A and B are shown apart, each in its own frame.
Chain A
């Protein structure tokens, strides 16, 4: 029952015009951002895929671009889908169940939106980053040469995991991390005050909170991915488990808050 309801929510959220507009904005921002890839001197050699990692850890980009956009998209989705919500709730027979489905669907929707943001921006940023700018000398010595899709520039492939897999991992994990935050903010805000101005408030709240917390706190997954691109990457179970626990706690809070707010509110 919950998944069937979530499916309706997700389908409602994936509107081509909205997705296209958001993707366009993300691409335009990524294309115009000046970028310098940072890497520790004694670490593994950086390469173009570090652009994606660097982007995911870029506080300015995350706080001022991704969070407001995704929070806004999520909140617009919540406030915009209220007519279909009524058809759904009267079939579910319980607002508490609906609260749970709401959290699940917003988590999925915000993850989708954020994954879109990270992947579009990363691809554009990679294409627009000059290979000779900001990389170490090591990075400019090609091991294997590949052509980057948009710009046709020559890059080296990392010798670790597949770069495509790495980019997908970065996109999805950053999506989950930012999605967890935006889903809670936008969900609680829109459940409590379902008004058109709520998306803006959700976005501003997100910006202020993340500006104080920093990317290492909100996105431990992306942080953990750094060693993955090097040949000697090992990873660690403990931080991954800690991250999973943190996300579980975030979503538990969201479920409790949503239930508390939803069952007291008129639809």
Chain B
């Protein structure tokens, strides 16, 4: 898989305050990488540096093999969806995208209409953008980022203001975009959205990447069961049947079992073994857990 983005030792300082520290990662063609973190963790700044909108204090950024410095060298084939969509308010969405597309001049009316349709809007809608709802503006913003089929798509909070159908559409569009070979970088507060859409997730906290977790790791965790037993002695019984299990670090009666078989079957076997079950639930993984763990580790 060829690299679309390559970051090495990225630092960013604003008024003496470090915003990003030693950020290093790559995004491959066709890969979807999510960035999660608390407010002010540095997600948007990082995306802006990759887009060429902000200037890194140190380190190197390469997009499609070309260096990006945020001054004279900006990425050539990139689609950026910023957190706050900005458009010419007095004209229609299609007209807005036509204006933007005319700058590069690489696509025509058909491709613009196609991108608008793909994002769930009507290209023939004559209404001015000023009349659009927040959700419609977000969809139009997504369409402008995708319409020129860039090699790298950067999405900052793409589901802000979208209803559940819109969120599902965004997920589908991200998958389609990656399938066409584009690298996708996605920052979002919605952990389930990131979890479902991304091949890899970076947890960023106070300007540093604390953890990188792959989608398969998450799915493994999601397929686990959390079991609470009445007696600590019963934990041994669980381990004898499911040796891959691990005990919760904060309790001697809670065990995470990696589910080799359907949940009812696990329960049935443990009851037969004489385990007094207090609670059985899916060990929802968690990205939320990983994020909190990263933040708590720092604290």
Contacts and interface: CB of A to CB of B under 8 A. Distances in A.
B86 A85 contact: yes
A81 B85 CA distance: 10
B272 interface: no
Contact of A8 (B76, B88, B104, B105): B88
A153 interface: no
Interface in A16-72: 16
B48 A94 contact: no
B78 interface: yes
Given A90-B80, A266-B53, A83 B85 contact: yes
Interface residues of B, number: 32
Contact of A11 (B74, B79, B90, B103): B90
Nearest to A82: B86
Interface string B60-91: 00000000001111111011101011111111
Interface in A233-254: none
Given A95-B71, A263-B71, A266-B55, A90 B78 contact: yes
Given A81-B86, A83-B86, A89-B53, A267 B103 contact: no
A11 B99 contact: yes
A100 B85 CA distance: 24
B149 interface: no
A179 to B, nearest CB: 21
Contact of B48 (A4, A82, A266): A266
Interface string A71-108: 00000000001111111111111111000000000000
B75 A93 contact: yes
Given A83-B85, A86-B53, A90-B53, A8 B100 contact: yes
Interface SS of chain A: helix
Contacts, number: 82
Contacts of B53: 86, 89-90, 266-267
Interface residues of A, number: 30
B86 A86 contact: yes
Contacts of B55: 264, 266
A259 to B, nearest CB: 10
Given A86-B82, A263-B71, A267-B48, A4 B54 contact: no
B99 A4 contact: yes
B87 A89 contact: no
A92 B89 contact: no
B52 interface: yes
Given A4-B99, A8-B99, A93-B75, A83 B82 contact: yes
A105 B20 CA distance: 34
A145 interface: no
Given A11-B91, A89-B52, A93-B74, 12 more contacts: A11-B88, A14-B90, A83-B85, A87-B80, A87-B100, A88-B103, A89-B74, A90-B51, A91-B100, A92-B74, A263-B72, A267-B48
Closest 8 CB pairs of A and B: A83-B86, A84-B86, A266-B54, A91-B103, A267-B53, A263-B71, A4-B102, A11-B88
